[in-house]
Structure 1
Amino acid sequence: MAKTIFITGASRGFGKLWAAAFLERGDQVVATARNLDTLKDLQQQYGDALLPIQLDVNNRAASFAAVQQAYKHFGRIDVLINNAGYGLFGTIEEASEQEARDQLETNVFGLLWATQAVIPIMRAQGKGHIIQVSSVLGLITLPVLGLYNASKWAVEGLSETLAAEVKGFGIDVTLVEPNGFTTDWGGASAVHSQPLAVYEGVKAAFAAGVTPDIFGNPAATPAAILKLVDTANPPLRLFLGKVALPWTKQVYAERLATWEEWDEVAVAAHG
């Protein structure tokens, strides 16, 4: 049966690819973007199956209005995909106050507003699926992306909590955690802090580790997303890409070893 999918940040990258995949198989899609010109090609190809809505996800009232518009137009919302977001490149010290606030505003609060807006609709339906586009950097970290890391760790904590709160209403929650992909996330979509010379060595080491083989092909991801929304019991977490799982297993093994090493001190602190 055809589904109604609401996707934020659908102007390019994952959002547009996934919107096209849903439309191609006959689903109805609500696609939001700051600039609706980016969606004209999909609208021309798929007509009334696509509802484009201009939206700045940072605007809570506008996010609620967009969700209500989508619901009134199609009569239901089966899946929300919170895809809107961007990366801030720069060390912790380099990030300005405005850059830090803007990063969290979009990646965390923008996601929160759409989530809050759709929950009552899905609760009334007795069914729904909220998909939060996080990152492997919501589980582990890289230098030079500290504020981005922090935003995705916030998304992880928020969404895992949400999953427990709404499960009884028939609403599923999934965190999609891609490793690097060759979207323009690190290009035109990115913001760069004013550099400090003292961090040149850190950035050089970071750049040296960014090799082509760690990046996945975005065009290969729609099949995974279609399978995710069609499964009866979707997982809380889903990696995208071949790098994320081995990398996370290595980092978690190191964390567990440290916790074990300091367990005697931790237990003694219990009193």
Structure 2
Amino acid sequence: MSKTILITGASRGFGKLWAEAFLKRGDKVAATARNTETLADLVATYGDAILPIKLDVNSRDESFAAVAKAKEHFGTLDVVINNAGYGLFGTIEETSEAEARAQIETNVFGLLWVTQAVVPVFREQGYGHIIQVSSVLGITTLPLLGLYNASKFAVEGLTETLAQEVKGFGINVSLIEPNGFATDWAGASALQTQQLDVYSEVRNAFNEANSQEGLFGDPAATSEAVLKLVDAAQPPLRLFLGKHALPWAKQVYEGRIAEWDAWDEVAVAAHGN
């Protein structure tokens, strides 16, 4: 049975790839973008199966209007994928107030507004699936991506909480956590802070580490995994995309647990009774 899916940030990258994968198999897609002209090729190919919606997720009003428009147009919504977002590259010290606020505004609040808009729709229907695009950098970190890391950590906490709150309404909630992929996320879609020379060594090490052959996955290969997630009767709360994410996560968590264990005596004594 075909599904009706709303996906934000569908102008490029994962968003556009996944939108087309849904359309190819006969689903209906409400695709949002700041500039809907970027969706003209999909409209030309798939016609009425796609509804382009102009949306800046930073606007709560626009987010609610976009969800309402999709629901009214198609009559139902089965899945919402919060994909809109971008990366901000720069050290913590280098990041300006405006850059920091804009990163959190889009990656966290933009996702929150769309989520708040769709929960009542799904609750009334008695079903629905909310999928938040997070990152492996929502559970671990890299230098030069502090505000991006922070935004995805926030998405993880928000979404895990949401899953507990809406389970009784028949609403499924999932996090997609990709490792690095060869999209333009680190290129045209990214923003850069003004650089300080004192961090040149950190920056050079970061660039060297990220120049390894085979480090970045093929974005097109993710579509099948997303289709399986959408079709799952009992979808997982978390789904990594890529071969590097799980080994990295295991290494990070083993280190965290070892450190917590080493300081457990101090922690327990702090309880006071």
TM-score of the two chains, using structure 2 as the length reference: 0.99
Is residue 261 of structure 2 the alignment partner of residue 263 of structure 1?
Answer: no
| In 1, Cα distance between equivalents of 2:117 and 2:236 | 22
**Alpha-carbon distance, 1:208 to partner:** 1.3
Q: Counterpart of 2:186? A: 186
- Counterparts in 2 of 1:192-203, with a 5 A limit? 192-203=192-203
**Alpha-carbon distance, 1:212 to partner:** 3.1
Q: Which amino acid aligns with 2:125?
A: Q
Structure 2 residue runs without a partner (length 5+): none
The number of equivalent residue pairs is 271
Q: Counterpart of 1:219? A: 220
Q: Counterpart of 1:233? A: 234
**What is the SS of the residue equivalent to 1:29?**
strand
TM-score of the two chains, using structure 1 as the length reference: 1.00
Q: Counterpart of 1:19? A: 19
Could you report, residue by residue, the CA deviation over 1:240-265 in whole angstroms, capped at 9, with x for unpaired residues? 00000000100100000000000000
Is residue 164 of structure 2 the alignment partner of residue 168 of structure 1?
Answer: no
**What is the SS of the residue equivalent to 1:189?**
coil
Could you report, residue by residue, the CA deviation over 1:8-46 in whole angstroms, capped at 9, with x for unpaired residues? 000000000000000000000000001111100000000
Q: Which amino acid aligns with 2:159?
A: S
Q: Kindly, what percent of the aligned residue pairs are identical?
A: 72
| In 1, Cα distance between equivalents of 2:16 and 2:138 | 22
**Alpha-carbon distance, 1:231 to partner:** 0.6
Q: Which amino acid aligns with 1:110?
A: G
Q: Counterpart of 1:148? A: 148
| In 2, Cα distance between equivalents of 1:169 and 1:159 | 15
- Counterparts in 2 of 1:42-121, with a 5 A limit? 42-121=42-121
Q: Counterpart of 1:177? A: 177
Q: Counterpart of 2:136? A: 136
Is residue 240 of structure 2 the alignment partner of residue 245 of structure 1?
Answer: no
**Alpha-carbon distance, 1:214 to partner:** 1.4
Could you report, residue by residue, the CA deviation over 1:151-208 in whole angstroms, capped at 9, with x for unpaired residues? 0000000000000000000000000000000000000000000000000001111111
| In 1, Cα distance between equivalents of 2:194 and 2:214 | 29
| In 2, Cα distance between equivalents of 1:176 and 1:234 | 11
| In 2, Cα distance between equivalents of 1:50 and 1:25 | 13
Instruction: Give the CA RMSD over aligned residues.
Output: 0.4
| In 1, Cα distance between equivalents of 2:225 and 2:82 | 16
Give every structure 1 segment of 4 or more consecutive aligned residues whose post-TM-superposition deviation is greater than 3 Å: none
| In 2, Cα distance between equivalents of 1:31 and 1:133 | 15
| In 1, Cα distance between equivalents of 2:25 and 2:266 | 57
**What is the SS of the residue equivalent to 1:214?**
coil
Q: Which amino acid aligns with 1:173?
A: V
Q: Which amino acid aligns with 1:102?
A: A
